[in-house]
């Protein structure tokens, strides 16, 4: 588990954003509150605010991503930062340069933030431990471990529809075993005080001892959906599956796919979420993905606001004295 210390500076301010573990409820609430005004920036004729003007943010994606990488890039650009996208496949790491050597080179170019996605759990944490003190690191997904900005955009989306976390029953369905999103969501939901988190999936895709995180385990989707307020569907991560964990996609859809009939078991105002990309007809019926209870595209939009909030909080720190101007901005 990642210790709290590395993510916060000496004054308790957000320095890196690597995992939900180690944050208290108020930290998470601060991020959600900070994201609210950023959700309106797209209403301006100029869809930008000048907060991070002059900062350089590097997208370091060692693993494929469309949504996460582009929303991080858009978030950085809407904050007026300069963004560098490193294409790892054609970079010098493929010529044998080590990860840390590459980082030190990027540091020498005076970058301020690394957004890191890697297929190895703990990669962003390792980078955060080795970068210069002024650099912030944000984890955009590491192996099966953590995807904290995705979890926070999901919490933001839930709060916009449901207000109070404490009264909610939240169901997470599918490939929990390989899902860093599910792990981060579980930590965020329990930290925010959600009364009941249910995880449901085939035995082969539920990690052992997950109950210790404070969730209820189900293997029957229908039973898990009863009275649910929020239903989160996960993608089957076939690229991470080794060996025969599933009989077939058809069989999976039959048992764990969300259909209109099954969704009726949840509360009538339940919302349906999915971190994307969705596999229609594998984990979710098209009529639900495109239906009135789906907030899947809202999640994408909210991802920009949450990432703007995390970036501006981590880079809006300084050890300098407050400005000498007479009382600041008056």
Q: Where do contacts with another protein occur on this chain (CB under 8 A)?
A: 13, 30-31, 33-34, 36-37, 39-41, 43-46, 48-51, 312-313, 315-318, 320-323, 325-330
* Best CA proximity match to 267, nearest among 166, 176, 200, 167: 167
The smaller minimum CB distance to another protein, of residues 249 and 298, is found at 298
Convert 30-69 to b/e letters by CB count within 10 Å (16 or more is b). Answer: bbbebbeebbebeeeeeeebebbeebbbbbbbbbeeeebb
Integer angstrom CA distances of residue 281 from 41, 111, 254: 35, 43, 10
The smaller minimum CB distance to another protein, of residues 196 and 298, is found at 298
- Location of structure tokens 């949504």: 67
The nearest distance, CB 83 to another protein, in angstroms, is 18
16 — alpha (psi -120 to 50), left (phi > 0) or beta?
A: beta
Give the C-alpha separation, 159 to 174, whole Å. Answer: 23
170 and 191 Cβ atoms separated by less than 8 Å: no
The nearest distance, CB 275 to another protein, in angstroms, is 25
The nearest distance, CB 13 to another protein, in angstroms, is 7
The smaller minimum CB distance to another protein, of residues 261 and 326, is found at 326
The nearest distance, CB 134 to another protein, in angstroms, is 11
- For 193, other C-beta atoms within 10 Å of its C-beta total 12
The nearest distance, CB 133 to another protein, in angstroms, is 15
What is the side-by-side strand order in the sheet with 82-87?
82-87, 56-61, 113-118, 136-142
The smaller minimum CB distance to another protein, of residues 292 and 328, is found at 328
The smaller minimum CB distance to another protein, of residues 275 and 303, is found at 303
The smaller minimum CB distance to another protein, of residues 37 and 281, is found at 37
The nearest distance, CB 226 to another protein, in angstroms, is 37
Bond before 233 cis per omega within 30 degrees: no
The smaller minimum CB distance to another protein, of residues 39 and 265, is found at 39
β-bridge pairing 196-200 and 169-173: parallel
Give the C-alpha separation, 70 to 51, whole Å. Answer: 19
Adjacent-strand bridge partners of 17: 138
The nearest distance, CB 80 to another protein, in angstroms, is 10
């Amino acid at each position: 588990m990642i210790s709290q210390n590395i993510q916060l500076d000496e004054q308790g301010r957000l320095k890196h954003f690597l995992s939900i573990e180690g944050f208290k409820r108020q930290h998470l609430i601060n991020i959600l509150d900070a994201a609210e005004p950023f959700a309106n920036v797209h209403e301006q004729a100029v869809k930008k605010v000048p907060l991070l003007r002059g900062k350089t943010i590097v997208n370091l994606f060692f693993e494929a991503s469309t949504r996460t990488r582009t929303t991080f890039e858009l978030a950085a650009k809407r904050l007026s930062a300069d963004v560098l996208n490193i294409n790892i496949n054609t970079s010098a790491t493929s010529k044998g340069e080590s990860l840390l050597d590459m980082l030190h080179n990027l540091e020498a170019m005076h970058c301020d933030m690394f957004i890191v996605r890697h297929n190895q759990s703990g990669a962003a944490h390792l980078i955060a431990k080795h970068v210069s003190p002024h650099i912030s690191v944000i984890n955009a997904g590491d192996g099966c471990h953590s995807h904290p900005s995705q979890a926070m955009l999901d919490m933001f989306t839930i709060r916009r529809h449901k207000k109070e976390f404490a009264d909610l029953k939240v169901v997470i369905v599918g490939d929990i075993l390989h899902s860093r999103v599910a792990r981060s969501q579980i930590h965020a939901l329990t930290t925010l005080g959600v009364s009941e988190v249910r995880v449901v999936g085939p035995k082969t895709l539920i990690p052992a001892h997950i109950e210790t995180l404070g969730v209820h385990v189900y293997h029957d989707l229908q039973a898990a959906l009863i009275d649910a307020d929020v239903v989160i569907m996960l993608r089957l991560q076939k690229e991470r599956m080794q060996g025969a964990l599933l009989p077939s996609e058809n069989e999976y859809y039959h048992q764990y796919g969300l259909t209109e009939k099954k969704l009726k078991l949840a509360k009538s105002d339940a919302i349906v979420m999915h971190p994307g990309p969705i596999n229609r007809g594998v984990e979710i019926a098209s009529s639900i993905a495109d239906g009135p209870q789906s907030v899947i595209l809202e999640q994408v939009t909210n991802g920009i606001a949450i990432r703007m909030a995390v970036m501006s909080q981590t880079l809006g720190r300084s050890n300098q004295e407050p400005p000498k101007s007479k009382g600041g901005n008056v």
